[in-house]
């Protein structure tokens, strides 16, 4: 999904939120989400994306999808999952600007698989913006580490693997914790409102 046609350089592009996918937007599975039928949104997550859009945020997704590299599903199936995600988001009043994904396994030693920051660096290039302070939401330590590596602000949600991640500790400095994507959006927009008063 290419967003070059509408990218906005400079400070305006900073109004960006980066979301992990599985466990943040949709139900996660230790057996991987392998089809569009298995892709099921978490309650309220798509409406939360709509609220971000209404508040002037672009929403992009950065997701490890090693199921491709493992041969569990192909690129066409991944595309069908993301088409479903975008369609359901639109029905809930939201828009996902772009999906960045890593199809590799750990054995590939790529630069894009979180906790490496390659996907985040690509987002910065695509939107011609510095990611310092940009909120990045995930449910696993590697999501938070990738965000911290580029100066983005890590936010942990307790859906998906989030509770296990919190219990394990060693979160990047400054990580904020929220019950869900909805709760993250509530907190983010409340802080914005407080600053504007």
Task: State yes or no: 20 annotated in a binding site.
Answer: yes
- Catalytic annotation present for 111: no
Task: State yes or no: 30 annotated in a binding site.
Answer: no
Instruction: Select which of 2, 6, 20, 28 is catalytic.
Output: 20
Task: State yes or no: 74 annotated in a binding site.
Answer: no
Task: State yes or no: 110 annotated in a binding site.
Answer: yes
Residue with tokens 């695509």: 126
E strand residue ranges, 20-173: 58-64, 98-102, 135-138, 153-157
Task: State yes or no: 139 annotated in a binding site.
Answer: yes
CB 104, CB 118: distance < 8 Å: no
- Catalytic annotation present for 22: yes
Instruction: Select which of 22, 28, 97, 143 is catalytic.
Output: 22
* Burial annotation 162-177 (CB, 10 A radius, 16+ → b, else e): beebbeeeebbeebeb
CA distance 187 to 176: 10
Task: State yes or no: 108 annotated in a binding site.
Answer: no
Extract the annotated binding site for Zn(2+). 102, 104, 110, 112
**Residues in the annotated binding site:** 20, 22, 102, 104, 110, 112, 139
Residue ranges for the known binding site for Mg(2+) are 20, 22, 139
Which positions are annotated as active-site residues?
20, 22
């Amino acid at each position: 999904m290419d967003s070059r046609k509408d990218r906005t350089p400079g400070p305006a592009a900073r109004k960006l939120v980066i979301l992990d996918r599985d466990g943040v937007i949709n139900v996660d599975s230790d057996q991987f989400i392998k089809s569009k039928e298995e892709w099921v949104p978490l309650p309220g997550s798509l409406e939360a994306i709509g609220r971000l859009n209404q508040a002037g945020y672009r929403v992009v997704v950065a997701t490890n999808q090693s199921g491709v590299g493992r041969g569990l599903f192909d690129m066409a199936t991944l595309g069908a999952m993301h088409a479903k995600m975008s369609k359901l988001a639109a029905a809930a009043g939201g828009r996902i600007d772009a999906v960045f994904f890593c199809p590799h396994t750990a054995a590939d030693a790529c630069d894009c698989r979180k906790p490496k920051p390659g996907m985040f660096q690509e987002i910065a290039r695509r939107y011609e913006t510095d990611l310092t302070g940009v909120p990045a939401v995930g449910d696993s330590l590697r999501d938070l580490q990738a965000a911290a590596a580029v100066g983005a602000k890590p936010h942990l949600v307790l859906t998906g693997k989030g509770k296990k991640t919190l219990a394990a500790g060693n979160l990047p400095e400054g990580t904020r914790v929220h019950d869900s994507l909805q709760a993250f959006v509530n907190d983010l927009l409340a802080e914005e409102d407080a600053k504007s008063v």
